[in-house]
Chain A
Amino acid sequence: MVGHIVTFVQHLQAHARQLPRLGRAGSAFLLALLLVMVGTGQALAQAPEGTANANPTLTTMLGITMGVLGVGLLTAVLISFVVWATGTRNPLIPTDEEMEHSFRRYFWFSVDHKVIGIQYFWTSLFFFFIGGLMALLVRWELAQPGLTFTPDQYNQFFTMHATIMIFLFIIPMLVGAFGNYAVPLMVGTFDMAFPKLNALSYWLVPPGALIIMAGFLAESGTAKAGWTSYPPVALQGGAGQMLWLLGVFVLGWSSIVGGMNFLVTIMNMRTKGVHYFRLPLFVWAIATTAVLAVLGTPSLAAAVTLQFMNIAFGFPFFDAAKGGNPLMWQHVFWFYSHPAVYIMILPAFGIVSEIIPVFSRKPLFGYRALVYATAGIGVLSFLVWAHHMFASAMFPWLRIPFMLTTMLIAVPTGIKIFNWLGTLAFGKIRLETPMLFSLALVSMFVIGGISGVFLGSVPVDLHLHDTYFVVAHIHYVLFGGSAFAIFGGIYYWFPKMFGRMLNESLGKIHFWLSFIGFNVAFLPMHAVGALGMPRRYADYDIAFTELNLTISIGAFLLGFAQLILIYNMLRAFQVGKVAPANPWNARTLEWLTTSPPPHYNFEEPLTVDHDPYDYGRRISSPEALPVPGD
């Protein structure tokens, strides 16, 4: 393994020598990013805790002024990007054609959807490991009763774990990386509808991430009110909390821009013969997700703006002492954040819907039902948000409609599960790594879904609210669901993206260690939760010692397993088998071009006369398809 790492580093060094000077524009951009990060962090650190309740002193005002300047600087940087994006300016920036075959295109403002997809891919993967590190710090603390870190540090770890995993890993990986890479190929076109907007949506992610991370430089530490940032606790957060709000705002902006782009691409850029009911399920999932992002994210933007003004300028929005309403935050926040759960799971369902027919050699069972179920989940996701607030002393009768809509979501979800099972039934099943991870999603998501029905029921929720049962539920959904689908997607599309095959044996080891580690870590959480252990506390009753130690061991095993994935990828770049155009004998359009595809994806415009999942039908054996490079 050491040998591979050394070779990889030498590989990077060789490419680094080819990097040109970044040029004035690039240096200005990087300098501005650095200033935003350090300047805003340090400036806001001047603001004392709980600014909202303090008299504005000179240092406070200075901090706020510098913070505003930092945001202004960021805006200036983004505007200059737009100036560049509109055309004529900046001869310093090499064009895509100039760097088509150069490694450095991954470090610049490329407008090629495949490059942007790969930029998203590595960025998200990097943050997966940072977020994972935070999780392991949490589990290190909870492995034994008593305190290793201070409660304040512990609060920062779990807050940043969730923030990073949600906003910087799952969403950018599923929508940004796979969506960007696969959707234009799957609809048979040469790029996204708005390539420059696409570049903007990626390049908003690093500043957003840096702003959130800058919280670690603040005197009082980073955000520590949980990723849900409920007032009144969040209002006491000071600088770290303000940076968190700013960063989330910028990431939300990226999400909206990306969502619009996907919608226009899917509506207007389909190649000849690809009508709506010939779209692969993954494209349907991304379209639904885009609708959720476009309609829901403005609500999050409003919520974080109001909370920022509350903390920074003492506005009364969520401050009960000034006549504000802390519960208002929960409404406006969850109006986005519950659909956000579906933003994180629908593309995962889409990936599984791609993989299962390919590895069962059967048409997808109930294609149209799956499409309607996807859209149905999308619509219902906006009608359930108050189920997060059952314990908030809302008028009791009002909880019932939200309970019913929550239960109703089990119907389209059940349709999906049964359709996958119907696809598997009597299929010629090949248990390769992408399939293993997809089957893991189907089984683990059933557990996560059913515990969701428990939590959707008012009387049960009142007992389980804010216990480890909720933590178990969300991890069965977001790790057992989204993350397993992401791993499946990596094994499935890696050959297309990078032109190399991943090692199958290493993939299987990665799968089994992840699957075992995952269940050892999260299954006992149901028990500790039902027994009453609350979440978000740094210490616990000694009665929970054994179960917590087990959970921590599972978590560390799960963390270790992910190193195998990284090793497998590095190894593939060095000695991996060169990928053919269609290694899985799949029928969706991305496999009709070379691996990786050329600059404009297809040699000539496609005309499609078959459905995406025609496996096993006599008229359409995969061998009959023209496959370049095979």
Chain B
Amino acid sequence: MAKQSNHEAHVGHVTSPTTYLIAAGALFVLTALTVGAAFVDLGPLNDLVALLIAGTKAAIIIVVFMHGRYTSGITRLAMVAGLIWLALLILGVMDDYLTRDWLMTPS
């Protein structure tokens, strides 16, 4: 076991084509779902559903295609840093976006 992980650490994990094909298939299905969801009016849930599907797709790409599942340490830290920075941007923008109407302007 130890020998195997040492080997993996050296050459990197090899993902089987089946896994890639399943992941690619899932991406196509989710894309179809995005298009389908666009034709159904879910009211306030519209954005939420679209973002959930997009987030799932991004997660599949990060975990499978970018080998996020098999990397460790600093590479994983780099991936998480990207997410944190995105959160930081969204947080700052939403601060402004959600409070802009609070300003009382003479009508």
Question: Which residues in A have some Cβ–Cβ distance to B below 8 Å?
Answer: 267, 294-296, 298-299, 325, 327-328, 331-332, 335, 382-383, 385-386, 389, 393-398
Contact = CB atoms under 8 A, between A and B. Distances in A.
Interface stretch (B9-17, B49-57, B60-68, B86-94): B86-94
19 contacts: A267-B74, A294-B78, A295-B82, A296-B85, A327-B96, A331-B92, A332-B89, A332-B93, A335-B89, A335-B92, A382-B85, A385-B92, A393-B100, A394-B96, A394-B100, A395-B100, A396-B103, A398-B95, A398-B99
B102 interface: yes
Contacts of B33: none
A294 B85 CA distance: 11
A130 B89 CA distance: 34
A620 B32 CA distance: 69
Given A267-B74, A393-B100, A394-B100, A295 B92 contact: no
A389 B95 CA distance: 13
B81 interface: yes
Given A296-B85, A331-B96, A393-B103, 10 more contacts: A267-B74, A295-B81, A299-B85, A327-B96, A328-B97, A331-B89, A335-B89, A393-B100, A394-B100, A398-B96
Contacts of B102: 395
Nearest to B82: A295
Contact of A395 (B82, B85, B103): B103
Contact of A328 (B74, B78, B93): B93
A296 B95 CA distance: 19
Contacts of B82: 295, 298
B86 to A, nearest CB: 8
Contacts of B74: 267
Contacts of A385: 92
Overall SS of chain A's interface: helix
A299 B96 contact: no
Contacts of B103: 393, 395-396
A396 B85 CA distance: 25
A382 B88 contact: yes
B49 to A, nearest CB: 20
A342 to B, nearest CB: 15
A385 to B, nearest CB: 7
A385 B95 CA distance: 13
Contacts of B88: 382-383
Nearest to A334: B92
B16 to A, nearest CB: 23
Contact of B99 (A267, A335, A382, A395): A395
A379 B63 CA distance: 27
**What 4 pairs across the A-B complex have the smallest Cβ distances?**
A395-B99, A331-B93, A295-B85, A335-B89
Contact of A386 (B81, B85, B92, B100): B92
A155 to B, nearest CB: 28
Contacts of A296: 85
A296 B81 CA distance: 11
A290 to B, nearest CB: 11
A19 to B, nearest CB: 41
Contacts of B100: 393-395
A404 to B, nearest CB: 14
Nearest to A296: B85
A623 B45 CA distance: 73
A385 B92 CA distance: 9
Interface in B26-79: 74, 78
Contacts of A299: 85, 89
A267 to B, nearest CB: 7
Contact of B96 (A267, A298, A383, A386): A386
A397 B100 CA distance: 11
A270 to B, nearest CB: 15
Which of B78, B92, B97, B102 has the most chain A CB atoms closer than 10 A to its own CB? B92
A442 B93 CA distance: 35
Contacts of B97: 325, 328
Contacts of A389: 96
B78 to A, nearest CB: 8
Contacts of A328: 93, 97
Nearest to B102: A395
Contacts of A397: 99
A327 B101 CA distance: 14
Nearest to B96: A394
Contacts of B95: 398
Which of B74, B93, B97, B103 has the most chain A CB atoms closer than 10 A to its own CB? B93
A284 to B, nearest CB: 17
A295 to B, nearest CB: 5
Nearest to B78: A294
A28 to B, nearest CB: 30
A307 to B, nearest CB: 16
B11 to A, nearest CB: 17
